[in-house]
Chains A and B, each alone.
Chain A
Amino acid sequence: MENNTSFLRQKKQLTRHHVVMPFTKSVGIAFRSIKARFLRSIITTISLVLAVSFLCFTQVTSDIANSLASLENADLQRKLTAAGYDPAPDTKEETTQTNKWAIKNSPKQKWIVSLSLLVCVVGIVNAQLMAVTERFREIGTMKCLGALNHFIVRLFMLEALMEGGAGASAGAVFGALFALLTSFFQYGSTVIYTLPLQDILLSMGKAFITGCILSLAGVIYPVIVAARMEPVEAMRMEN
């Protein structure tokens, strides 16, 4: 009995000796921080929006081309070939598979997409690096007030995730819409009747997730560096 109470007291003391940061509080602070720096956040996310929409655009365009190719319409196939696709049937696999007209992204297209994503990553890392540097003093101050390193990392990751989520969904929607429009003008109204909705949604989802991951990847290095500094170092860094 006595052992038990002393154990409890000890445990209570241990928890009393820990600083905390409730998750909802972090979300609140991160959200307000984005709101207050709205213009700044938009600039940070703009390269992300562009890259995600480009990624989504190419994927959705090829989704649509795919579904058109499977119609085996000579006129459409001429147009597809003109657009740079190669809709010749795969001779090795002449089964009853519906997807035998599968069109792959050309190597050139893949290369452009990867390049644009790379440029985007550099842009995001740079923007986030600046955003973190600008807030070194704030980070140092928070550590003086008792923040643990991971409170700060979590705060910036939440911000990046919110920005990234918003930017990536905007990018996915823009990219898909643009792909629909260009395909409509290129191949005519058939596009609408054969719209591969499921594939398009899947491509949008993939582009969205890629965007979120890129946004997190951009912030994680600078913020871990900043959070690990001694408070005075962080406070001295700025200006």
Chain B
Amino acid sequence: MPENHEESKIVRVSNVTKNFHMGKMEVQVLKGINLDITAGRYISIMGPSGSGKSTLFNMIGGLDKPTSGQVFIDEVDIAQLDAYELAWLRCRKIGYIFQTFNLIPLMTALENVTLPMTFAGVNSDDANDRGMTLLKMVGLESRYNHKPSELSGGQQQRVAAARALANDPGIILADEPTGNLDLRTGEEIISLLQQLSQEKNITIISATHDFKMLNVSDQVVWIRDGQVDKIENRDELSISLGEISIGNRH
């Protein structure tokens, strides 16, 4: 246990709540989430649809503000960051992958991958070189000049993964990255994420209800109704996995 203290917590979520206004009603979607995420791990946030995974994803990624509570990235409270620092965090520190891919429609695959590098101040030649290297890594170097509309869903998601890696982020946040993909392309994305976590020591945080993710996760955070239900490490997982496969058979 004392070891745990020395491992750096790259993300710390402290008592985060989030309310949404629905007309006059106020709905509490996150009801006090606490979470410590150790650098270099592959974390899956699991839970049924509507349990608040995307909302939590947005809080961790600094894409939306919590109603109360704090999110720390590298022990910095992101609510304290000004617009410039927040943009810098989104640009350099975190790479985002979305269920709907969210590539810029008018830009080619290479331009999509190099856009975050442009924001980071990398000159065009270096950005293009690195962009091609990243596209090669996801197996799409021959498609560098294609627009998103000319790529399949799986290919678009791989471009998105390459884009997420553009500025060597410490964290990759993925919200249902396999949600819009068929089984096989979904597996490709999962193994790509696993490879990133193992080879580049990038912290992967993935919101999902895709049980294929369980096999590659170091830790699974189960969310139910806006609260952390349980947190399981890899070694404890086989038990729940057994339950699931039994459950599926019925």
Contacts and interface: CB of A to CB of B under 8 A. Distances in A.
Contacts of A144: 61, 63, 90, 96, 102
A20 B63 contact: no
Interface string B97-127: 0100011111000000001101111000000
Given A137-B102, A230-B65, A232-B64, A17 B90 contact: no
Most buried by B among A20, A142, A232, A235: A232
B36 interface: no
Interface in B58-104: 58, 61, 63-65, 83-85, 87-88, 90-92, 96, 98, 102-104
Nearest to A239: B100
Most buried by B among A18, A25, A140: A18
Given A141-B104, A146-B92, A149-B83, A231 B118 contact: no
Contacts of B12: none
B158 interface: no
B39 to A, nearest CB: 21
B82 to A, nearest CB: 10
Contacts of B83: 148-149
A144 B163 CA distance: 11
B100 to A, nearest CB: 8
Contact of A141 (B85, B91, B92, B102): B102
A32 interface: yes
A146 B116 contact: yes
B87 A148 contact: yes
Interface in B35-62: 58, 61
Given A17-B84, A19-B91, A232-B64, A146 B102 contact: no
Nearest to A20: B121
Contacts, number: 75
Contacts of A17: 84-85, 88
Given A141-B104, A144-B63, A230-B65, A25 B118 contact: yes
Contacts of B118: 20-22, 25
Given A21-B119, A232-B64, A146 B87 contact: yes
A32 B87 contact: no
Contacts of B121: 18-20
A151 B119 CA distance: 10
Contacts of A232: 58, 63-64
A19 B120 contact: yes
A25 B103 CA distance: 18
A138 B104 CA distance: 6
Nearest to B91: A146
Contacts of B106: 32-33, 36-37
B28 to A, nearest CB: 17
B65 to A, nearest CB: 7
A138 B98 CA distance: 13
Interface in B109-149: 115-116, 118-121
Given A22-B118, A230-B63, A230-B65, A147 B104 contact: no
Nearest to B55: A232
A145 B64 contact: no
B58 A146 contact: no
Contacts of B116: 145-146
B132 to A, nearest CB: 19
Given A17-B85, A19-B120, A233-B64, A143 B58 contact: no
B68 to A, nearest CB: 17
**Those 3 A-B pairs whose CB atoms lie nearest each other, nearest first:** A146-B91, A146-B119, A19-B119
Interface of A: 17-22, 25, 32-33, 36-37, 137-138, 140-149, 151, 230-233, 235
15 contacts: A19-B91, A20-B120, A22-B118, A37-B106, A138-B104, A141-B102, A144-B90, A144-B102, A145-B119, A145-B163, A146-B88, A151-B119, A231-B63, A233-B64, A235-B98
Given A19-B91, A143-B87, A146-B90, 11 more contacts: A19-B119, A25-B118, A141-B103, A142-B104, A143-B90, A144-B90, A145-B116, A146-B91, A147-B119, A148-B87, A151-B119
